[in-house]
């Protein structure tokens, strides 16, 4: 979340006039994240989150995200519920940009996940995968493995400017990832961005997931690999085996991984690190001046890629055993 497009109270009041949600009491921008403009909106009837869609979001894909949240909520998964105006519309416009209002969810995100948080997040991820089954709409992963080489070709010079010698290392990583990328793994709708700031807890219990605007159809184990990267590494880039094992354990408490998925996790994790390195590299030099947002440092994922090189092919390094006995 972030703020690129600011709005006035008058604009927001006019927007809310189409809804039966009460009168505006207060509104403030939310600074976290890097993709869209987000606001916490209080009315005399409740609290909501307003999102104005920017940057990578394709307006034609917004119905997928909105309907996915409605489907998940209807199937018992705790996530924001899109609010419809009096005509039934959930997608609106502010300053010519697409916008939507969703329910506010209580809870808090964690900056330093514990083993308990990782176990709960893993279980929540599996619950999401199960709840999404039967969703009729599909969306290809526009930032999936097939896109990485072409994306990197446009930004290799920026990688070299970030750290001398990095461009060649990334090119080598891409070659290894592309050569071994697994096919035929179980697939469905995945979140694809379930970082700690997109999960809410009350005490240590998982209570909600938010920010579904990278959701797509891809391998379930790839989604788990994204979470291992996001939740389980130390500042030095090394994976914390205790946290990783807890996340895998939590995931498998609701959905068992197949042997093929277990064997694929090391390369999937390397690929997930590549995906977030590339988008952070692009954001590092392109965030609009004056935006209420701080781009994430891509060097965090440089360190994670270094770990994945050393752990290549070893499921045990990720809290897994290829034969089905967790580390």
**pLDDT higher than threshold 60 for residue 259:** yes
Between 314 and 313, the higher pLDDT residue = 314
The answer, as to whether pTM is greater than 0.85, is yes
243 plus 169 within the same structural domain = yes
- Asked if residue 1 belongs to a domain, the reply is no
For position 30, what pLDDT does the model report?
83
Over residues 148-164, the mean pLDDT reads 96
On whether both 180 and 153 belong to a single domain, the answer is yes
Question: Do 240 and 270 belong to one domain?
Answer: yes
Q: Indicate whether 249 and 122 sit together in one domain.
A: yes
How confident is the model at residue 60, as a pLDDT? 92
- In the listed set 41, 69, 103, which residue is the last one of a domain according to the structure? 103
Q: What are phi and psi of 232, to 5 degrees?
A: -120, 5
pLDDT score of 1? 40
Whether residues 149 and 27 share a domain: the answer is: no
> Is the sign of the CA dihedral 290, 296, 302, 305 positive or negative?
negative
Q: Are 151 and 252 in a shared domain?
A: yes
Residue 308 falls inside a structural domain: yes
Residue 2 falls inside a structural domain? no
Q: Are 212 and 248 in contact (CB under 8 A)?
A: no
Looking at the structure of the chain, the number of domains it has is: 2
On whether the CB atoms of residues 256 and 157 are closer than 8 A, the answer is no
| Residue 34 reports pLDDT greater than 70 | no
Tokens standing for residue 60:
């034609």
Same domain, 132 and 227: yes
Question: Do 142 and 62 sit in the same domain of this protein?
Answer: no
Choosing from 70, 103, 136, the residue where a domain stops is 103
The CATH number of residue 39's host domain is 3.30.200.20
CA distance linking residue 21 with residue 225, whole number of Å: 39
**Residue among 212, 215, 228 nearest 264 (CA):** 228
Mean pLDDT (the chain, rounded): 92
230 and 299 fall within a common domain? yes
Residues 62, 140 within the same domain: no
Give the structural domain span for 252. Answer: 115-318
State residue 82's pLDDT score: 97
CA distance 40 to 54: 17
Residue 289: pLDDT band (50, 70, 90) is: low
Residue that is last in its domain, among 53, 71, 103: 103
């Amino acid at each position: 979340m972030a703020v690129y497009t600011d709005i006035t109270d008058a604009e927001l009041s006019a927007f809310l006039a189409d809804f039966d949600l009460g009168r505006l009491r207060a509104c403030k921008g939310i600074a976290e994240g890097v993709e869209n403009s987000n606001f916490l909106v209080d009315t005399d009837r409740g609290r909501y989150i307003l999102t104005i869609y920017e940057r990578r979001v394709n307006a034609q894909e917004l119905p997928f995200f909105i309907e996915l949240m409605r489907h998940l909520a209807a199937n018992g998964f705790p996530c924001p519920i899109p609010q419809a105006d009096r005509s039934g519309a959930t997608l609106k416009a502010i300053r010519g940009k697409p916008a939507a209002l969703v329910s506010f969810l209580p809870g808090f995100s964690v900056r330093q996940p514990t083993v308990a948080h990782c176990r709960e997040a893993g279980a929540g991820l599996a619950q999401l995968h199960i709840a999404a089954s039967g969703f009729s709409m599909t969306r290809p992963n526009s930032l999936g493995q097939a896109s990485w080489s072409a994306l990197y070709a446009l930004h290799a010079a920026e990688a070299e400017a970030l750290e001398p010698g990095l461009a060649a290392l990334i090119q080598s990583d891409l070659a290894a990832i592309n050569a071994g990328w697994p096919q035929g793994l179980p697939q469905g709708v995945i979140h694809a961005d379930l970082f700690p700031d997109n999960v809410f807890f009350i005490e240590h219990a998982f209570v909600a997931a938010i920010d579904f605007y990278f959701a797509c159809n891809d391998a379930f184990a790839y989604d788990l690999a994204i979470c291992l990267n996001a939740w389980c590494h130390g500042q030095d880039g090394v994976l914390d085996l205790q946290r990783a094992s807890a996340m895998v354990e939590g995931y498998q408490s609701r959905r068992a991984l197949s042997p093929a998925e277990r064997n694929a996790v090391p390369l999937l994790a390397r690929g997930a690190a590549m995906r977030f390195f590339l988008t952070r590299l692009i954001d590092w030099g392109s965030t609009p001046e004056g935006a209420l947002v701080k781009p994430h440092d891509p060097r965090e994922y440089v360190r994670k890629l270094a770990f994945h090189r050393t752990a290549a092919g070893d499921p045990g390094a990720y809290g897994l055993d290829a034969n089905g006995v967790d580390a």
